[in-house]
A and B are shown apart, each in its own frame.
Chain A
Amino acid sequence: MKISPEEVAKVAKLARLDLSQDKIGQYAEQLGGILDYMDKLAELDTADVEPMYTPVDHVSVMRDDVARKDYAREDILKNAPETDGAFFIVPRIV
């Protein structure tokens, strides 16, 4: 198998997902098949090829650094699961 259940569990942890044992086994099998398929790319010699990460060339667009107020605080907080009216509230960190 291309990817072990232990590796799937490790990657799931990195991705902040909690997978059941059943699902870890199922994903290991499915992802193994997909990765085998992806290994097809190894057939191609790409030693001197510059990677293409985006179809557009102008990736760093500059603009004037001007402060702008697009949204009101109360609007931005409207979708928050928990807020005190001024901040997003999360479980205690320290």
Chain B
Amino acid sequence: MPEIMHMTLSEVRKALADKTLGAAEVTEAALKRIEATEPKVRALISVQAEEARALAKSLDAQGPDASKPLWGVPLVVKDVLATKDVPTTCGSRILENFRPVYDATAVARLKDAGAILVGKANMDEFAMGSTTENSAYFATRNPWDLERVPGGSSGGSGATVAAGQCFGALGTDTGGSIRLPASFCGIVGLKPTYGRVSRFGMVAYGSSLDQIGPMTRSVEDAARMLQVIAGHDGRDSTSVDVPVPDYLAVLAEKGDLRGLTIGLPAEYWDKGLSSEVAEACGAAVKKCEELGAKAVPVQLKLSQYAIATYYIIAVAEASSNLARFDGVRYGHRTENPADLMDMYVKSRTEGFGDEVQRRIILGTYVLSSGYYDAYYRKAAQVRRLIRKDFEAALSQCDLLAGPVCPTTAFKVGEMTSDPLQMYLMDIFTISTNLAGLPGMSLPVGLGRETGMPIGLQLTGRAFDEARMLQAAHALEKSVPATGLATL
């Protein structure tokens, strides 16, 4: 049998179900790997070692439960998701001592499925960033090269899975925050359709853009996690009550891509790609054709407006969402405030980091009287046009394919000085959130120049994650294996 932490979630799940491995044994292996690699990678803000050990022990005492699809599997959750009695910091000082009294729905569903929470993943503060350097606690490093960033904002989730510390993680994606770190860390990352997964218990950044999704070492693993977390939840009025397909059955249906049409948006392939990204993604599309898919050119003409649209909407929603941090009910409160207003102002100023304050200011500005129509309303109008652009493209094909990012993971410190430059890294991922469509990153090989992982982005029709997963599953076996990072 392979080293436990080299197994995929699907493999370890099977070994646990047939009692080849015990939950305690697997949990110990995860904790040992965390201890060995964490000083270098720094993927986790907190580790729930004792709670995990206790749960594993009680699971072993009861024996495997076939009704629990993740029975005994150690997982990590991004620290933006509420976990009952376990610190949930959002990567911010303002929530340093916050212990939620409830679980986010996605977390509760993982627990009900028998999963064991071993850690909370580091992230850019309030999910604002693309490198995970913007955590108030520490920066996470890329397990493939410790001098490089893991991507963000779910960089801790990406790094912990790539470093073999757990078998899967939950990330969140507002503008690419699952797909970018998945691409940079060489793992699978899936952002579901807006409304597919309940956002209850996720600390909100951009409420009309945010989605929770799985980050794993295989497509099958992602399908298994999505199966557990997907579905309507009465506690999130934006979660949609539509049937959730049996994703594993869909994966098993078909091993090739015959009958599938893949659209290649000219705007994603034409310019600005590093040669290694163009080469690896191009080779993956060729593989799709060899597997029977038809590749057709499509256009997403409004792509050039996506970043401006996204950052207006995201910061506007953020400034409103983050108004709740006022030092009254939870979170940081300044010492000895002069009066109530002084308490609000000082608590927030002391608690929020620089990028968060910048986005709150920008968001407040674009929503303020006199500018609302010119910025926020205008952006919401362009958003509808972008959605129509996608609908037109996806009427000519079943899936869109392109790179996740123009480059592989960049060096630590390269993107920190100019905020606009960092926003531009999200160029290929943010439109998907504006349109509310499902998207994923599939590792398609290592770059010829940097030796770093490269992700191919697939985008599907609304609520059609099944077809995207099926295609990715077929393609996964045909592209060069990325493997695990060696640490």
Contacts and interface: CB of A to CB of B under 8 A. Distances in A.
A50 B195 contact: no
Q: How large is the interface on A (under 10, 10 to 19, 20 to 34, 35 or more residues)?
A: 35 or more
A82 B333 contact: yes
A86 interface: no
B312 to A, nearest CB: 6
Given A38-B308, A46-B381, A50-B384, A55 B361 contact: no
Q: Nearest 7 A-B pairs (CB), nearest first?
A: A55-B436, A51-B380, A81-B333, A79-B330, A52-B384, A46-B381, A49-B381
Dominant SS among interface residues on chain B = helix
Interface string B349-386: 10010000110111011101000001101111111110
Q: How large is the interface on B (under 10, 10 to 19, 20 to 34, 35 or more residues)?
A: 35 or more
B361 A54 contact: no
Contacts of A31: 358, 361-362, 365
A90 B195 contact: no
Interface in B211-241: 234, 237-238, 240
Nearest to B239: A56
A91 B102 contact: no
A27 B333 contact: no
A11 interface: yes
Contacts of B462: 55
Contacts of B102: 70-71
B234 A80 contact: no
A69 interface: no
19 contacts: A3-B365, A11-B364, A14-B368, A16-B341, A17-B357, A17-B360, A18-B349, A34-B419, A38-B311, A38-B312, A44-B305, A46-B382, A55-B435, A55-B436, A56-B238, A58-B240, A79-B97, A90-B328, A91-B342
Contacts of B374: 42
Nearest to B326: A16
B329 A88 contact: yes
B346 interface: yes
A37 B420 contact: yes
A39 B345 CA distance: 31
A7 B364 CA distance: 11
Contacts of A11: 361, 364-365, 368
A91 B384 contact: no
A50 B64 CA distance: 53
A67 interface: no
Given A38-B379, A41-B309, A51-B380, 6 more contacts: A38-B308, A49-B384, A51-B381, A52-B383, A52-B387, A59-B238
Dominant SS among interface residues on chain A = loop
Contact of B328 (A17, A42, A88): A88
Contacts of A82: 333
A33 to B, nearest CB: 6
B269 interface: no
Interface in A39-94: 39-44, 46, 49-56, 58-59, 61, 63, 70-71, 75-76, 78-82, 88, 90-93
Contacts of B194: 54-56
Nearest to B333: A81
B235 to A, nearest CB: 9
A76 B195 CA distance: 28
A47 B462 CA distance: 27
A27 B358 contact: yes
A51 B377 contact: yes
Given A41-B308, A41-B309, A46-B378, A17 B340 contact: no
